[in-house]
Amino acid sequence: MEVEKGHTSGDYLDGFFQGTRNALYQNERASITLNITVINEFYIGALVALFERSVGYYASMININAYHQPGVEAGKKAAGDVITLQGKIIDFLSENSDSAHSVDEIADAIKDSESKETVFLICQHLSANENRGVKKIGSGALNKITFQSQ
């Protein structure tokens, strides 16, 4: 669902995900990302149960309030940076749609070579949503994957 011109609710969720992940990293907090290949009610239910229990259990072990999350605000701010970067990536791919481009090429072209991981995650997000017009070509090693505007 488009919530702003050129940005969907999925883009904001992806931005919040990456922003929170980055905020945790900046504060030297460990995090983990899970990729699920099968999405159905069983696996979603299992994930909710896993997180619900692990958050509560861990918080009680280290004597903290698990629901006081100062990193959430930092994540929201970082999400804005992800959305801005996504706009640059879309513009670059649209203007150079005659060929596919590696993450390195995209990052260099938008003058953000320090954010290659974020560029990759944004491109992955865009290519996973058919209506975004970005095609992922290749698989496996990062240097063998390219992205192209359709």
Please provide the distance, in angstroms rounded to a whole number, between the alpha carbons at the two ends of the chain.
Answer: 20
pLDDT value at residue 96: 95
Residue 148 scores a pLDDT above 80: yes
Could you read off the pLDDT of 57-76 as tens digits, one per residue?
Answer: 888 899 888 777 767 777 77
pLDDT band at 119 (very low <50, low <70, confident <90, very high): very high
Residue 16 scores a pLDDT above 80: yes
Range(s) of the domain holding residue 136: 2-149
Rounded CA gap, 10 and 14, in Å?
A: 6
Residue 123 tokens read as 């491109």
Q: Answer yes or no: pTM beyond 0.85.
A: no
Number of domains observed in the structure of the chain: 1
